[in-house]
Chains A and B, each alone.
Chain A
Amino acid sequence: MSEVSHYSQTWSHRTSRGRLLMWVGWVALVALFVWCWQLMTENTIWAFVWDAPRQAADIGGRMMPPRLSYLPELLVPMWDTLNIATLGTIAGVIMAVPVAFLAARNTTPSARFLRPIALFIIVASRSINSLIWALLLVAIIGPGILAGIVAIALRSIGFVGKLLYEAIEETDAKQIEAIEATGASPTQVLNYGIVPQIMPAFWGISVFRWDINIRESTILGLVGAGGIGLKLQASLNVLAWPQVTVILILILLTVIVSEWVSAKVRKAII
């Protein structure tokens, strides 16, 4: 009897209930934002904030022109920075490989005990930034390059471990079964069934992490862990802004070159 006699003239994507929920969600987000904003800016001195453009112009004026004669002094710290990143990556990768095999569901010897431990190592390493690792290590083993290398290595375990164990879990089970069917021992299965499958991923991840580590090692010196960051900190402390400009340009160039290298290598591998 009752036919639908009237269609809505305008089309809408959601039902009215869906729209209501969306609105409630958005209003809640806005309210949360306002509340957080007020909490955050409670102690902000607004006079400093309004003064910022003048400060920016002032600092900008002091930074120009860059003091290029400072460049030769930066070569040794730059070499240190490269070493921190490279040696740190190598050490981190070496430690990450066993962790990744323990964390992957298909290779772990005991899913009950070792896997959670490996996963915790990965999470702990990933959630603490390398600068914080460096802060701790400088306090423990003293300022210098070694603290930087260890900080980079500890931070890399989580990153490399996570991506590598995901790659191990995604290996093709058929190839492993084929190797097992030949009567191979577990180490042979690992060597001929799993390793060839994850090798491209492994190199790709390592080079990617190296690229990130170059970026991070440039600032480790801020907390005393060696490299070009030390020079940056020293220049900032004496307000030598023209030197700061030179250092920033050098850091920028290094980051761009390392990104280019890593993109090239990854393209060649994958």
Chain B
Amino acid sequence: MTQSTYPTTWRRPPQIITDRRWRIGLQLGILVYLIAATSTVDVDWNRVSIGLERGQRFIMGFLQPDFTSRWSDIHRGLIESLTMTLTSTVVGVLISVPIGIGAARNLAPPWIYLACRAIIAVSRSLQEVIIAIFLVAMFGFGPFAGFLTLSFATIGFLAKLLADDIEEIDEAQAEAVRATGASWSQLVNYAVQPQVMPRLIGLSLYRLDINFRESAVIGIVGAGGIGATLNTAIDRYEYDSAGAILLIIIVIVMVAEYGSSYLRKFLQ
């Protein structure tokens, strides 16, 4: 009458893929891919070891940034970036509101819905940098092309989130307003707008933050802003100026992030 022995150790059962064969197959597949992938990465270790010294110089430049000697260029780049960010966010929001309303299934007729969703899909699937390349080719170098790029990218981002938000509103409130005999514009104004406004403001501030980060990038392809200055600094191996620019970007992004999260809390 002895109790059958219990195991004294316990192993956690696998959580995600429970079938043993699938698990082994998947692990093998990953292993094969990793071997195939790493074998095609040819690294010139000689070049890397030469570069490490340069990397050290860059880190020194980052620790002792030089703000003064290129200050006029940095200043101009920053002004371009900041003005580009603000104007493109404002214009992008203004355009994305009607598109967002049009892309909400519960407010717009099917053909408008499809057209607006198509605009959103095009804007979202293209990278900012690629759009910037084309717009620079069309509008010439400078912040104006950057402004257009960022506005276009803002439309896809904001209109999609706004449309999804409108589709998720509390229908009871919309029906209550409709029951008073409200017209379509009154419905939008009194039933939809109060429900989505806090989130729209939050998303706009978030997009402002993203647009600043992107404005630092699109300068590399000639669309103005701090990215152009950074590109020049790195091309000329002026790592202390590049370090200064990167620090400025990090600080502004941090300020924008904390500022926008504070502002969002305050507004909601």
Contact = CB atoms under 8 A, between A and B. Distances in A.
B58 interface: yes
B63 to A, nearest CB: 13
A71 interface: no
A142 B48 contact: yes
Interface in B25-71: 33-34, 37-38, 40-44, 47-48, 50-52, 54-55, 58
A117 B130 CA distance: 35
A111 interface: no
B253 A140 contact: no
A124 interface: yes
A118 B4 CA distance: 51
A219 B12 CA distance: 42
Interface string A141-163: 11011100100000000000000
A261 B180 CA distance: 46
Contacts, number: 147
B98 interface: no
Interface in A211-242: 215-216, 218-219, 222-223, 232, 236
A223 B142 contact: no
> Which of B16, B142, B227 is the most central at the interface, judged by chain A CB atoms within 10 Å of its CB?
B142
Interface in B138-155: 138-140, 142-144, 147
Interface string A22-60: 000000010011001101110111001100100110010
B83 A139 contact: no
A83 B38 CA distance: 8
Contact-residue size bin, chain A (C-beta under 8 Å from the other chain):
35 or more
A260 interface: no
B240 interface: no
B131 to A, nearest CB: 11
Contacts of A39: 79, 83
Main secondary structure of the interface of A (DSSP, over half): helix
Given A39-B83, A196-B15, A141 B55 contact: yes
A124 B250 contact: yes
B220 A36 contact: no
Contact-residue size bin, chain B (C-beta under 8 Å from the other chain):
35 or more
A44 B250 contact: no
Nearest to A129: B217
Given A196-B12, A215-B127, A222-B129, A40 B138 contact: no
A199 interface: yes
Nearest to B235: A139
B87 A149 contact: no
B125 A252 contact: yes
A89 to B, nearest CB: 12
B9 to A, nearest CB: 12
Contact of A59 (B50, B138, B221): B138
A131 interface: yes
A142 B254 contact: no
B198 to A, nearest CB: 14
A144 B217 contact: no
A83 B36 CA distance: 9
A142 B142 contact: no
Nearest to B76: A43
A82 to B, nearest CB: 8
Nearest to B245: A132
Given A131-B129, A132-B227, A135-B234, A149 B41 contact: yes
Contacts of B194: 13
A252 B51 CA distance: 34
Contacts of A80: 40
B103 interface: no
A86 interface: yes
B176 interface: no
B216 interface: yes
B213 A129 contact: yes
A70 interface: no
A136 B90 CA distance: 32
A203 B37 CA distance: 21
Contacts of B120: none
Interface of B: 12, 15-16, 33-34, 37-38, 40-44, 47-48, 50-52, 54-55, 58, 79-80, 82-84, 86-87, 90, 125-127, 129-130, 133-134, 137-140, 142-144, 147, 194, 213-214, 216-217, 220-221, 227, 230-231, 234, 237, 242, 246, 249-250, 253-254, 257
Given A139-B51, A139-B234, A203-B16, 7 more contacts: A29-B90, A40-B147, A55-B138, A136-B58, A142-B48, A200-B16, A222-B220
The 4 closest A-B CB pairs, nearest first, are A127-B253, A48-B140, A36-B83, A142-B47
